[in-house]
Structure 1
Amino acid sequence: MPLPISQKHPKGLYILFFAEMWERFSYYGMRAILLLFLIDNVTGGMGMSAAEGAAIYGIYTASVYLLSLPGGWLADNILGQKKAIWYGGIVIMLGHIILAVPGGSALFFIGLTTVAIGTGLLKPNISSIVGELYPEGGARRDAAFSIFYMGINLGSFLGIAIVGYLGQRVSWHMGFGAAAVGMFLGLIVFHFGSARYLKGLGDVPPAKISTPETVAQSKTNSKLGYGLIALIIAFLVILQITGTIDMTTAQGLAKGAGVIIVVVSASYFLYILVAGGLTKVEQRRVLVLIILYLAAALFWAGYEQAGTSLQIFADRHTQRMLGGWEVPSSWFQNFQPAFVLIFAPVLASLWISLAAKGRNPSIPVKFAAGLILTGLSFFVMVAASGIAVKGDLVSPLFLTFTYFLQTIGELCLSPVGLSSYTKLAPKRYVSQLMGIWFVATSLGNLIAGLFAGGFDEENIMQMPALFNQVAIISTGFGLLLLIFWKKVKSWMGGVQ
């Protein structure tokens, strides 16, 4: 929760605020129209089926978070955070410029890949510099991240509104071009602002301490890494040969990516549990992190339907006339950042008030609440799709209430999850486990894309069953976590 105005923050925070705001403008703005462009076959889009377009959307959004792992490594070992942000921003802008050029599918995929690479380089490192501004930690640092989080959602709101309108009402490529302009403005802010207000922060990679033990550990980790890569490749080849997954299609590639994420995550958790030299207390805490990882992946699989199945529903089955003007369907995605901006201070105040009374819900209870609220939001969509299958356009209030429930769920789970991973992770594995937290988001995005691929344009009768599936799984896991929250809390070893 932001601190009173009297407790001032360094000006560097506001440089990072506006740089991140414009980067999120470009990311969420382009994301808002991405699936619509992929499935459009009338006004210059790619003309794909919903299944193929949603799979590509899922691969892209999952890749953004997966690439934050090598992006963080490059900053820590070669570039330093500041150069990683600068070069990442340039790559993102170039990617959007490529997307703005009508040039066929090959050029489009080059642009999409370029944006993903740049985002993976920029995203993890700009947040790290925010933390470096407050080496003392404490409430002032927490308040800084709250302010920074507002910048993310403000950029998202503006991007969806502007890029969404230009993409749907003027031309798809004009929308992609607007995203490039947004990133350009972010680069200007960062270049001139960082030179003055971020001196000495993130300029060079952190110094590495080399000892015989660290060198031996590095060699062991390299061997394990190569072995894991060989195992994944062999597993994927077997799945392809047996016909379990057809990776010559977009859907098959998405499923293959899902296999890689699951195998890597499971292998890493198993490695630190068995060979990580953990104490009994640390092992139990890692078990809690595994539970939170699964909960987060399920949550984001529902929440990220905003750009996939819920976007299709808004575009094809929702009443969007306001007077004589039709609201762009992409604008419905703006409910999420708008509700975050409105309710984040409310939830932050609530947690502080409950903590003062000794009644602040534990981490597993907040995670359970996030999942249950997401599940309830899809029960709302079950009702909405029941109306749509009759051939009627559905009131926009259904999607509005759906996004409201999901956003309150996000505020229960997302900031709490980020904090809990830093608290529960063994000290020597904090950075790596923070990367795994983002991998959970990546897996959720991928599942969201694969789920939306189940929408058959020729058979809208299956919509209620599909939404009901998400509702039951999310609510069920949330209730299970709620039932066993005391046991899970006991494994946390006193961490609040």
Structure 2
Amino acid sequence: MSAPISQKHPKGLYVLFFAEMWERFSYYGMRAILLLFLIDNVRGGMGLNAAEGAAIYGLYTASVYLLTLPGGWMADNVLGQKKAIWYGGIIIMLGHIILAVPGGTGIFFLGLVTVALGTGLLKPNISSIVGELYPEGGARRDAAFSIFYMGINLGSVLGITIVGYLGQKINWHIGFGAAAIGMLLGLVVFKLGSAKYLRGFGDVPPAKISTPESAQQTKSNTTLGYGLIVLLIGFLSVLQWTGTIDMTTATGLAQGAGVIIVSVSSFYFLFILVAGGLTPVEKKRVFVLIVFFLAAALFWSGFEQAGSSLQIFAERHTQRSIGTWEMPSSWFQNFNGSFILIFAPVMASLWIFLSSKGLNPSTPVKFALALILLGIGFFVMEMAAKEAVTGSLVSPLFLTFTYLFHTIGELCLSPVGLSSYTKLAPKRYVSQLMGIWFVAASLGNLIAGLFAGNFDENNVQQMPALFNQVTLFSIGFGLLLLVFWKPVKNWMGGIQ
């Protein structure tokens, strides 16, 4: 009989588990009603059309993850991880309080910006501390991230259920206020638990050893870094001047933000490789992180349609009535969190069992499986869309099975990716590269929002083709990664 989980893992993991659970309660709860609030013109929402609402939704969710990059830098160089988590949580709570105020458009967008800033500070650093609890790495760390992932999704289920119901059935702003209470509970858990069980983890920024050679290297790196920033600004200015980026509409701003995210990520990876002072082995590992970044961005671009195109499909094309009661459409997003709670411990145990037998799939193979499962889920949605174009409401089983395939894919990619980034990243860049991991989610969220904006209520015939595009891209990239998994694994330099 195996030992209980509590004997296998340090208690600090559970402090982080519950702190992250409440933070995700606030994030996913608010996200579940965000697009609905933006396009609502009956119950006091903003009354935007689907394209504008989806673009703003994509911009917000992308910003949340994009800001994890400066959030990681702040922890590595100024605050340390614990303070970054604490201050980030306070800022998130203030943002939700602002959203709870029934004010004008300016107040609402101020709240969104505040939540995004706080999440960027908190999100990468709480994941980094989880990795520090397991310096030996291996399957045990992968299992720990799967348990941590259960906390994320327990918060998701609670948030979508409670905030979704309050927002859709009672009042939008009461829903936003409930998200603020969730973040407050997360702050209390972290403050009390970290003092006892996380001593010595993330208290101060990583120590930097200074020698004349390292000082000269730092000076050269800084000069090159400034040069890359100037080059990036120039590149973006040319795109604006030529009309490639159009900032005059929400959709144009979202498209421009996609170019910016790709540019920032590319320049950051270039900076790390050229001026990061990396050894040849570390450079190969960074190349692996780039491959994982691309795979993750593609995965999230499909997966995160849960809150955009799949949310619209649930609201407008899915049978939700049971007798005289109609289920809130936002509750469909709970399938993912519920399936995570069911399958996360199963997958965590599976990785450890396969590892003990020498059969644990390598990380590139797990990423490939995730993308293939994502494609299968969208193939199911393609079938649902073909039925919906006839004008009838479709069975909720289509969305149920789509979320099932997506969830198993998520468990093959997300906790494994979190663990891989903490293992493969050079120690002095770990929080920053954790930020880059979340930037992949940022890009995916932005693409998901733009994709949802293509849903034209006057032309539902195009839905099957839209879902088919995601199916082909996901399965195609997954098969490509499956073909080249051995070279990618070799670049990992022996890290499992």
Q: TM class, shorter-chain normalised?
A: over 0.9
List per-residue Cα deviations over 1:230-258 (Å, max 9, x = no partner).
Answer: 22332233222322221111112212221
- What letter matches 2:182 in structure 1? G
Which moved further from structure 2: 166-175 or 228-237? Answer: 228-237
Aligned to 1:485: 485
C-alpha distance in 1, partners of 2:489/2:201?
A: 37
The alignment's TM-score, normalised by the length of structure 2, stands at: 0.92
C-alpha distance in 2, partners of 1:148/1:228?
A: 36
- What letter matches 1:411 in structure 2? L
Aligned to 2:231: 231
- Is this contact kept in 2: 1:236–1:256, CA < 8 A? no
C-alpha distance in 2, partners of 1:37/1:123?
A: 25
Aligned to 1:474: 474
- What letter matches 1:182 in structure 2? G
1:11-160 to 2 correspondence within 5 Å? 11-133=11-133, 143-160=143-160
- Is this contact kept in 2: 1:30–1:179, CA < 8 A? yes
List per-residue Cα deviations over 1:155-207 (Å, max 9, x = no partner).
Answer: 11100100001111011111101101111222222333444444554444344
Does residue 1:257 correspond to 2:276, yes or no? Answer: no
List per-residue Cα deviations over 1:346-379 (Å, max 9, x = no partner).
Answer: 2223233333333322222211110011011111
Aligned to 1:376: 376
Aligned to 1:419: 419
Structure 1 position 491, deviation (Å): 3.8
Give SS of 2:247's match: coil
Aligned to 2:439: 439
Taking a change above 3 Å as real, the CA distance of residues 94 and 219 of structure 1, as seen in their structure-2 partners, is same
C-alpha distance in 2, partners of 1:16/1:366?
A: 25
C-alpha distance in 2, partners of 1:272/1:86?
A: 28
1:208-357 to 2 correspondence within 5 Å? 208-274=208-274, 276=276, 281-357=281-357
1:384-423 to 2 correspondence within 5 Å? 384-423=384-423
Aligned to 1:460: 460
List per-residue Cα deviations over 1:407-457 (Å, max 9, x = no partner).
Answer: 111111122222333444455554443332222121111111111111122
Which moved further from structure 2: 301-310 or 202-211? Answer: 202-211
C-alpha distance in 1, partners of 2:331/2:321?
A: 13
C-alpha distance in 2, partners of 1:492/1:405?
A: 28
- Is this contact kept in 2: 1:317–1:392, CA < 8 A? yes
Give SS of 1:208's match: coil
C-alpha distance in 2, partners of 1:178/1:474?
A: 36
List per-residue Cα deviations over 1:54-111 (Å, max 9, x = no partner).
Answer: 1111111111112122222223333333332222212111111110111111000000
The alignment's TM-score, normalised by the length of structure 1, stands at: 0.92
C-alpha distance in 2, partners of 1:3/1:235?
A: 56
C-alpha distance in 2, partners of 1:138/1:372?
A: 25
Taking a change above 3 Å as real, the CA distance of residues 147 and 487 of structure 1, as seen in their structure-2 partners, is closer
- Is this contact kept in 1: 2:76–2:432, CA < 8 A? no
Q: What are structure 1's unaligned runs of at least 5 residues?
A: none
Q: Percent identity?
A: 79
Give SS of 1:7's match: helix
- Is this contact kept in 2: 1:3–1:140, CA < 8 A? no
Q: CA RMSD in A?
A: 2.4
Taking a change above 3 Å as real, the CA distance of residues 204 and 287 of structure 1, as seen in their structure-2 partners, is closer
Taking a change above 3 Å as real, the CA distance of residues 328 and 276 of structure 1, as seen in their structure-2 partners, is same
Which moved further from structure 2: 306-315 or 5-14? Answer: 5-14
C-alpha distance in 1, partners of 2:136/2:475?
A: 40
C-alpha distance in 2, partners of 1:368/1:465?
A: 23
- Is this contact kept in 2: 1:3–1:143, CA < 8 A? no
- Is this contact kept in 1: 2:364–2:488, CA < 8 A? yes
Taking a change above 3 Å as real, the CA distance of residues 54 and 137 of structure 1, as seen in their structure-2 partners, is same
Give SS of 2:454's match: coil
Aligned to 1:162: 162
- What letter matches 2:179 in structure 1? A
- Is this contact kept in 1: 2:127–2:418, CA < 8 A? no
Structure 1 position 141, deviation (Å): 5.4
C-alpha distance in 2, partners of 1:95/1:358?
A: 47
Taking a change above 3 Å as real, the CA distance of residues 483 and 147 of structure 1, as seen in their structure-2 partners, is closer
Taking a change above 3 Å as real, the CA distance of residues 191 and 422 of structure 1, as seen in their structure-2 partners, is closer
Which moved further from structure 2: 386-395 or 78-87? Answer: 78-87
Taking a change above 3 Å as real, the CA distance of residues 74 and 275 of structure 1, as seen in their structure-2 partners, is closer
C-alpha distance in 1, partners of 2:69/2:83?
A: 16
- What letter matches 1:481 in structure 2? L
Taking a change above 3 Å as real, the CA distance of residues 146 and 474 of structure 1, as seen in their structure-2 partners, is closer
C-alpha distance in 1, partners of 2:13/2:492?
A: 33
C-alpha distance in 2, partners of 1:267/1:200?
A: 33
Taking a change above 3 Å as real, the CA distance of residues 202 and 354 of structure 1, as seen in their structure-2 partners, is closer
C-alpha distance in 2, partners of 1:426/1:485?
A: 22
- What letter matches 2:213 in structure 1? E
C-alpha distance in 1, partners of 2:220/2:376?
A: 46
C-alpha distance in 1, partners of 2:240/2:76?
A: 36
C-alpha distance in 1, partners of 2:92/2:167?
A: 18
Bigger RCO (CA 8 Å, 6+ sep): 2
Which moved further from structure 2: 293-302 or 231-240? Answer: 231-240
Structure 1 position 30, deviation (Å): 0.3
Aligned to 1:171: 171
Taking a change above 3 Å as real, the CA distance of residues 221 and 298 of structure 1, as seen in their structure-2 partners, is same
Does residue 1:192 correspond to 2:196, yes or no? Answer: no
Q: What are structure 2's unaligned runs of at least 5 residues?
A: none
Taking a change above 3 Å as real, the CA distance of residues 79 and 6 of structure 1, as seen in their structure-2 partners, is closer
C-alpha distance in 2, partners of 1:78/1:287?
A: 27
C-alpha distance in 1, partners of 2:76/2:494?
A: 31
C-alpha distance in 2, partners of 1:485/1:141?
A: 21
Taking a change above 3 Å as real, the CA distance of residues 222 and 107 of structure 1, as seen in their structure-2 partners, is same
Aligned length: 495
C-alpha distance in 1, partners of 2:143/2:363?
A: 20
Taking a change above 3 Å as real, the CA distance of residues 23 and 360 of structure 1, as seen in their structure-2 partners, is same
Aligned to 1:360: 360
